[in-house]
Amino acid sequence: MLASDEDGGTLEALKFSLASDIVELVVLTTDEVFLQTLREAAGGARRLWHVLSADKVSDLLVAGEVGIVVLDAQALHEAARVFVEQIKRQFPDLVVVAAGNRDDEISLASLISAGLVYRFIHKPMSPARARLFADAAIKKYEAQRRRAAETPQRRRAPLSRIWLIGGTIGALALAAGFAWVVNRSGSEEETALPRADEVGKPAARESALFVRAAAALAANKLTEPAGDNALELYLGLQARNPADPNARAGLAEVHERLLARAENALLEERLDEAAAAIETARKSGVESSHIAFLTAQLAKSRAQIKTAVQARAQAQTQPQAQTQPQAQTQPQAQQQPHAHSEPRAEEDHITPLLNLAAQRIAEGHLLEPDSDSARFYVQEALRADPQNDAALETKHALASRLLEDVRSAIDRREFARAAALIDGANGIAVPANIESAQGLLAGTRRQADVDAWGQLLKNANERLLQDRLIEPANDNAKYFYLTLKQLDPGNAALNSILQDLGTRLAAKARRALILGQPEAAKSWLDEAGAIGFTSAEVSSAQRDLDAALAKQNFMTNLVPANQLTLLKSVQPVYPSKAEGKKTEDWVDVEFTVSEAGKVKDVAVRAASVPGIFEDAAVKAVSQWRYQLMLRDAKPVPVRTQLRISFTLS
């Protein structure tokens, strides 16, 4: 449910809703896409209030004591930090979730570490991650509400506090009027995760492993204790189903929290702790350019410390060098430029390669062309100096981009491209991440096959109900049945479709026989045979069809009358009416000579004067007798035709 900030009854409606169990969220943003994603994540059981300015947030907080606030830092500009500190000071139990880019996260890093900001959302985000953040915030809010119910209620904020908030909001609005925001073009875009209805099974959410993983994540037990931490549990969940969206979303959250931990450690120059957090984040299998960025910062910090240590060591040894005789120091002075010239030349050789690699990464030329790709230049740089820090960092950046592209290709169902990217990542990305990508590809492929087979089954059943058995081409029950049989021959539903389709085809054949359409009946029975259907009805229809076709063949293959030996003939009686008018005529008759030589099944085919001589001709010919026609020494019936002439002498 979405409430507008322009609704005149907003405050009263909010006061009323607080009496219910519906969770209230207030979202301050001007980003429609971000709002829509949160709206989908919140669901119908959670009321979401959208406001466009900080003063509206203040009104809702004062009026309704809302429990959860989502603040888009880009809507507050530089005032975000001050605003968060102020509302948390006035409402310490408020759950604040901030959103924005990397710069916004860095600006709020101290508030995140201090717990004033419960979570930070990187924009843009997928619905799966939005649900994860929303659920976590709601759980925290509900836990605080339960604790509050067990303790005496706090008094409402005094009037002076309300005026203080209003003054602060006014100042923030004035500051925001002069604010400007510079968005870094290189900020990381979060890879969209598949919806739960695209891959995986809903039962995973109810599994005990998922419950344990979610509980560990909620308790912020990211990597400890062993066997009961979020990273291990989500990795176990992913191992069972590589395409499970819950596992991917959980690992992504663990990944982000570890990187946030690494950032804090870097800011405080706790480099070993930062390195451990970055390395653990890599094990989550969620490669990103943020890892490469932090690794580069770590290498830079270590290099600075190393340089400082070397400078101090050199300063300590300098007085000793000055006490040596000039004759001894001079050779060292002459050797010093030579000692540094070779690494400098090597560094100058590597830097252009890495610049080209970075350019190719930005252009998306990761693997092609072979001799002008990011992979080529990274490998050349590492061949020159395998331990070069900058080259290793570029390698990590390339690995991150390759694996991100793998996941994007998998999400788009471009499996061939995903496989090619995984092959290209060999030797660049760490083996564990390659194995994870391969597992994700295999799992998604399997799920895609299952989805495709399910759609074929659905289409086949729909076409049966529509009586579209064999037409139109490539969109009929037979087509979908045979396609499913080829792709998934062990599908349990195949026999049911076969019986239904075969029975319908046999019924079509029987109806065609009744209507005297043997060719149509033959076509329907051929279709039944093409799908491998057999039944008693098909066998019966086939026998009747054979008889009908034999009769049709007999009736059309006429034996010339002059090849038959007439044993007895009867002259036709001249019709008196025709005789009185002196009318003459001829009649063409067709008839069968039976195995006994008798004439039967006489039919008139033509007459020169219709309606006068036909009956006389039929009565006369019906009394004729012929010599038996033998075939293989056995008498057989034959069909013949002749013309009976009626003339006056």
Stronger pLDDT, 338 or 239, i.e. the higher one: 239
Spatial distance between the Cα atoms of 21 and 640, rounded to a whole number of angstroms:
94
The H or E element spanning position 266 is helix 245-267
Q: How confident is the model at residue 247 (pLDDT cuts 50, 70, 90)?
A: confident
Please name the amino acid found at residue 324.
Answer: Q
pLDDT of 53 strictly over 70: yes
Domain boundaries, the chain: 2-177, 207-289, 452-556, 559-646
Which of 165-179, 402-416, 478-492, 629-643 bottoms out in mean pLDDT, i.e. has the lowest?
165-179
Q: Which residue has the tokens 């037990």?
A: 221
How far, in Å, CA of 444 to CA of 413, rounded? 8
Q: Are residues 457 and 501 in contact, defined by beta-carbon separation less than 8 angstroms?
A: no
pLDDT higher than threshold 80 for residue 330: no
What are the backbone dihedrals phi and psi of residue 412, each rounded to the nearest 5 degrees, phi first? -85, 0
The Cα–Cα gap between 75 and 4 comes to 17
Minimum mean pLDDT range among 258-267, 323-332, 562-571: 323-332
**Is the whole-model pTM more than 0.85?**
no
Asked whether the beta carbons of 64 and 18 are under 8 A apart, the reply is yes
Phi, psi of 634 (to 5 degrees): -125, 140
pLDDT of the residue at 579: 85
Q: Could you report the per-residue pLDDT of 548-574, keeping only the tens digit for each? A: 998 888 888 899 999 999 999 999 999
Are 38 and 134 spatial neighbours (Cβ–Cβ below 8 Å)? yes
Q: How far apart are CA 123 and CA 107, in angstroms?
A: 15
Question: What pLDDT was estimated at residue 335?
Answer: 43
Q: What is the pLDDT of residue 313?
A: 59
Per-residue pLDDT at 194 exceeds 50: no
Side chain identity, residue 269: E
Residue 2: pLDDT over 80: no
Averaging pLDDT over each range in 65-69, 319-323, 631-635, which range is the top one? 631-635
Tokens of 127: 């619905």
Angle formed by the axes of helices 271-283 and 230-240, nearest 10°: 20
Segment 87-131, tens digit of pLDDT? 888 788 788 888 888 778 877 877 776 678 888 888 877 776 677
Fill in the DSSP letter of residue 184: -
Region 559-646: CATH code? 3.30.2420.10
Q: In the prediction, which pLDDT does 188 show?
A: 35
Structure confidence at residue 261 as a pLDDT band (50, 70, 90): confident
Residues facing 122 on adjacent strands: 100
Q: Assign domain 2-177 one CATH number from 3.40.640.10, 3.40.1370.10, 3.40.50.2300, 3.10.50.40.
A: 3.40.50.2300
* Element spanning 276, H or E: helix 271-283
DSSP 8-class letter at 69: E
Integer distance in angstroms from the first to the last C-alpha of the chain?
106
Asked if the bond preceding 325 is cis, omega within 30° of 0, the reply is no
Closest Cα partner for 563 from 458, 505, 640, 501? 640
| Neighbouring residues of 473: CB distance < 8 A, sequence distance ≥ 6 | 479
Q: What is the dihedral of CA 81, 83, 87, 88, to 10 degrees?
A: 0
* pLDDT value for 5: 43
d(CA 438, CA 420): 11
Q: Confidence class of residue 65 from pLDDT cuts 50, 70 and 90?
A: low
What local confidence, expressed as pLDDT, does residue 474 receive?
Answer: 93
* Crossing angle (nearest 10°) for helices 245-267 and 127-149: 70
Mean pLDDT value across residues 610-631: 93
Res. 46 pLDDT band, cuts 50 70 90: low
Q: How many CB atoms lie within 10 A of CB 269?
A: 11
CA distance 155 to 153: 6
pLDDT > 60? residue 384: yes
- In the structure encoding, which two tokens stand for residue 34, read together? 């971000």
DSSP 644: E
CA distances from 393 to 270, 280, 368, 440, 615 (A): 20, 17, 20, 25, 107
Q: What is the DSSP string of 198-238?
A: TSS-GGGGGSHHHHHHHHHHHTT-SS-STTSSHHHHHHHHH
Sign of CA dihedral 115, 117, 119, 121: negative
Rounded to whole angstroms, how far apart are CA atoms 37 and 128?
9
Higher pLDDT, 140 or 350: 350
Query: Residues 542, 548, 551, 555: what is their CA dihedral angle, to the nearest 10 degrees?
Result: -140
Longest CA–CA span in the chain (Å) reads 163
* Residue from 171, 25, 39 nearest 97 by CA: 25
